[in-house]
Amino acid sequence: MNTPPTASELALCLCHSCGLSCDMRAGPTECERCGAPLHRRKVSSLTRTWAYMLTALALYVPANLLPVMNTTMLGSGADSTIMSGVLEFWQHGAWDIALIIFIASIAVPGIKFVSLTLLLVTVQRNSLWARKERSKLFRFVELIGYWSMLDVIVVALVAALVKFQALGTIEPRLGILFFGLVVVFTMLAAMSFDPRLIWETPHNKETSDDVTSH
Amino acid sequence: MTSHPTDTPQAPGSPAIKTRRFSVSLVWIVPIVAVLVGISLVVHSILQQGPTITLNFKTGSGLTANKTEVKYRNVVIGQVTDVALSDDQKSVNATVQLAKQAESFTRADSQFWVVRPRIGAGGVSGIDTLLSGDYIGADIGQSETRAKQFKGLENPPPITYGEPGKRFTLHTQTLGSLDIGSPVYYRKIEVGQVVAYELDAEGKGVNVEVFVHAPNDAYVTENTRFWNASGIDLSVGANGFALKTESLSSMLVGGIAFRAPPYSPNDKPADEARTFELFDDQDSALAPPNGEGQYMALRFDQALRGLKVGAPVEFLGVEFGKVVSINLDFDAKKRSFPLNVGIVIYPQLLGQAHTKLLKVMNHDPNDEAAGVQLIGSFIENGLRAQARSGNLLTGQLYIALDFYPKADKVKFDPSLRPVSIPTIPGNLEQLQEKLENIVNKINQLPIERIAGNLDSNLVELRKGLTQFNAKTLPGVQNTLADVSKTLQSASSTLAEDSPQREQLTQTLDELGRMSRSLRELSDYLGRHPESLIRGRPDNAAPLDLQGPPRK
């Protein structure tokens, strides 16, 4: 082995909270220094990621089907869903705005679902395939996570600003709540995922299994 | 289990035992809740979904899928989900998703119409849709049967279901300016409106359906007369101008007014859906009933320019009928073109004259033969029809029935229908005839001969004048010159300074003196008559006349 020994080989565990390398031979469950619980891997990472991602997926359906906001202009009200808004912008020639909304609101959550599923399945199969790329993919998922909140923020802003009584009023609808929850749960799923699992070899998989069962 | 025995105790074991009490991680509650929420949403929306109906409109104007709402009393009860052409492509089918609580709008007689801004003379409606866009108005029906297909109305129904009031049918000849929504007035107060109209079964009249709102529907009684209050009624009478109109709105969109005649005994509110006659104006509506009309034929030999259908027929100056037809005829025997004029008379309009006559004659108005006999006796007594000029300026004629006892006797044919009344020429025609006679006589005068005689006379006259000029005139001139000379000499004789005049003056002076002497003498003789015998004594003379003593 040319590589330096891993932390588990040296029976060391890094405290998540204060960063102290704890000696695990004594079997401590808490950090000696700050008292935070010690885990070699994130607690039940795969289960939680799966659960959060499935939640997000379940919420993704009403988020896209239910209207996200209601625009009342001069007495005529119209509910609009995310997709109808995109189509409306597209039909009016504002394809750039349509593209932004589409990417931020529909494509990004979709990409997240696909990416997380890919990561989860490969980790569970102890795949050695493209581990570096998968790691990059995870970082990308984490990065784009909060950008999906764009829609929620726009609706919140517009609903707060456009209050012209009879002339025009914009009100949020139930869909935006679900959409926000989708974003929150995908972010939770990404947070629950432990990227170190990507790098676990079948050799040290067994130990990690112990950990993930926490 | 582990490849590195030294590693195993390093794994924190106690939390693992703790979590293994659950076979499934608690975190799975989160997706389960999410799924449950999703399912509940689906169930909720299915439960909330009302019936779907299809409305058939002539045009899809103003209908937008997923935008146009269906409203009842301004509350949204559904939404148009789809707008598509009908199968025959002659109309538009709008699919409407009704709300759950609007289920009763599927009653078969529910009505749907598109509310759009309508600006008419009668008013403005649907102005809010100018900004908000059109919506579909709905009115709930009462039928027990349910339907999925509805025919959309082109115009909003003027009366909503269950509105208290009564509907009546009015029969008229033409619709005039009436329209759906035209107001109905009672004593100039709007109490209802026209809700429908249609041609009657034969197409010879119009049935107008009006709705009178409660409680004013009680004023529609069995004797009530309806009349068309559209437009302006300007009449010129002996009292001057009279302008009648119900309201500005009725001038523009027409209207109907009703009222019972002032004297209507035993009047009670009319039943729903009763049929009334719609009169043209108030006067004819409130006029006493015409009664049954009798058709009669008149035959005029002269042209009747100015006689029109509808011209009045008068009996002794009382209007009681009108002209209904004027037809030119050809008389084969006389080779002339007489005019056949048909009239209708309403004997009941003669009022008490009619009733008293019937009583005296012991006549039954329904006995036609007797009625004709009565007319025959009138004609025997000189009843004649005459076309008289009602207006000298416009030359309009009317038919006057009058008695002319001196008229030529005419044979009356009682079997003829309609009854024919003999005619006599009108006043103007008579005048015309007399003038014609005069002209004829003038025509018959031997004007040419007279003119010839006159001409020769004039020639002779001219000859005489020439002679007169040539011979007589110079003589006259000489005579005149002589006269002038005579006058000149006379004038010189009488001049101021002429000797003749001087002598004349002296002679006159002498005469004066002589007459004075004579007066003195007569005076003296009066006082002294003896002097005629004795002579005059010396002292006898008055002092003033005493001359110097002669002795």
**Domain ranges (residues) in chain B:** 47-151, 165-286, 294-435, 501-526
The CA distance from A65 to A81, in Å, is: 7
The pLDDT of residue B218: 86
Q: Which residues of A touch B11 (CB under 8 A)?
A: 24, 40, 207, 210-211
Among B2, B3, B14, the residue with its CB nearest the CB of A29 is B14
Chain A: nearest CA to B20, how far in angstroms?
A: 8
Q: Which residues of B touch A (CB under 8 A)?
A: 1-4, 6-7, 9-16, 19-20, 25, 27-28, 30-31, 33-35, 37-38, 41, 66-67, 128, 131-133
Q: A42-212: what fold?
A: Butyryl-CoA Dehydrogenase, subunit A; domain 3 (1.20.140)
Query: Per the CB < 8 Å rule, is B67 touching A78?
Result: yes
Query: Per the CB < 8 Å rule, is B12 touching A213?
Result: no
Among A59, A75, A210, the residue with its CB nearest the CB of B34 is A59
Q: Name the residue type at position A195.
A: P
Q: Concatenated DSSP letters for A154-180?
A: HHHHHHHH-B-TTSEEEEE-HHHHHHH
Query: Token pair for residue B223?
Result: 């004797």
The pLDDT of residue B480: 92
Q: Residue B354: CB partners within 8 Å, gap ≥ 6?
A: B347, B348
- Which stretch of A129-138, A163-172, B153-162, B296-305 has the lowest confidence by average pLDDT? B153-162
Query: Token pair for residue B128?
Result: 């809010």
Where b means 16+ CB within 10 Å and e means fewer, B105-127 reads bbbeebbbbbbbeeeeebeeebe
The pLDDT of residue A25: 78
Q: Which residues of A touch B (CB under 8 A)?
A: 8-9, 11, 13, 24-25, 27-29, 37-40, 43-44, 47-48, 51-52, 54-56, 58-59, 61-62, 66, 74-76, 78, 181, 185, 203, 206-207, 210-211, 213-214
The CA distance from A152 to A134, in Å, is: 29
Q: Name the residue type at position B226.
A: F
Per-residue pLDDT tens digits for B127-150: 777 767 788 888 888 888 888 888
Q: Residue B278: CB partners within 8 Å, gap ≥ 6?
A: B170, B171, B172, B208, B226, B227, B228, B256
* Kind and range of the H or E run holding B320: strand B318-328
Query: Per the CB < 8 Å rule, is B12 touching A52?
Result: no
Residue of B nearest to A61 (CA): B38
Chain B: nearest CA to A17, how far in angstroms?
A: 17
Angstrom CA distances, B116 to B66, B68, B298, stand at: 18, 12, 58
Low-confidence ranges of chain B (pLDDT < 70): 1-23, 120-123, 131, 231, 233, 235-240, 245-247, 249-250, 264, 289, 363-366, 392, 428, 538-551
Query: Token pair for residue A170?
Result: 């914009």
The pLDDT of residue A213: 39
- Tell me the pTM: 0.49
Query: Per the CB < 8 Å rule, is A27 touching B19?
Result: no
Chain A: nearest CA to B160, how far in angstroms?
A: 24
The pLDDT of residue B460: 93
Look at the block and give the residue holding tokens 């003195």: B520
Query: Per the CB < 8 Å rule, is B2 touching A206?
Result: yes
Per-residue pLDDT tens digits for B363-377: 666 677 777 887 888
Among A44, A76, A207, the residue with its CB nearest the CB of B25 is A44
Among B16, B34, B38, the residue with its CB nearest the CB of A210 is B16
Chain B: nearest CA to A185, how far in angstroms?
A: 10
* Average pLDDT of the segment spanning A64-77: 78
Query: Token pair for residue B346?
Result: 């309403």
Q: Are B7 and A8 in contact, with CB atoms under 8 Å apart? A: yes
Angstrom CA distances, B513 to B357, B509, B545, stand at: 109, 6, 15
Among A24, A181, A214, the residue with its CB nearest the CB of B15 is A214
The pLDDT of residue B383: 85
The CA distance from A150 to B481, in Å, is: 147
Query: Per the CB < 8 Å rule, is A52 touching B30?
Result: yes
* Kind and range of the H or E run holding B79: strand B75-85
Q: Which residues of A touch B116 (CB under 8 A)?
A: none
Query: Per the CB < 8 Å rule, is A37 touching B20?
Result: no
- Interface pTM, i.e. ipTM: 0.77
Among B12, B25, B128, the residue with its CB nearest the CB of A27 is B12
Query: Per the CB < 8 Å rule, is A185 touching B30?
Result: yes
Q: Which residues of B touch A59 (CB under 8 A)?
A: 34, 37-38
The pLDDT of residue B395: 72
Chain B: nearest CA to A99, how far in angstroms?
A: 24
Sheet arrangement for strand B339-345: B383-391, B396-403, B312-315, B318-328, B339-345, B294-300, B419-421
The pLDDT of residue B6: 42
In the A/B pair of chains, how many CB contacts fall below 8 A? 95
Residue B196, phi then psi, degrees to nearest 5: -165, 160
Check residue B423 and report its DSSP letter. Answer: B
The pLDDT of residue B7: 42
Collapsing DSSP states into helix, strand and coil, what is residue B446?
coil
Residue of B nearest to A28 (CA): B12
Q: Residue B67: CB partners within 8 Å, gap ≥ 6?
A: A76, A78, B79, B80, B133
Chain B: nearest CA to A156, how far in angstroms?
A: 23
What's the pLDDT band for A208 if we cut at 50, 70, 90?
Answer: very low
CA B348-B354-B359 angle, 5° bins: 130
Sequence spans of domains, chain A = 1-38, 42-212
Sheet arrangement for strand A69-73: A76-80, A69-73, A168-172
pLDDT above 90: percentage of residues in chain A: 5
The CA distance from B436 to B448, in Å, is: 21
Among A38, A54, A56, the residue with its CB nearest the CB of B12 is A38
Sheet arrangement for strand B111-115: B111-115, B135-139, B69-72, B75-85, B92-99, B49-57, B149-151
The pLDDT of residue B510: 94
Query: Per the CB < 8 Å rule, is A58 touching B35?
Result: yes
Angstrom CA distances, B366 to B102, B106, B278, B292, B414, stand at: 62, 57, 27, 10, 16
Collapsing DSSP states into helix, strand and coil, what is residue B242?
strand
Residue of A nearest to B4 (CA): A9
Chain B: nearest CA to A130, how far in angstroms?
A: 26
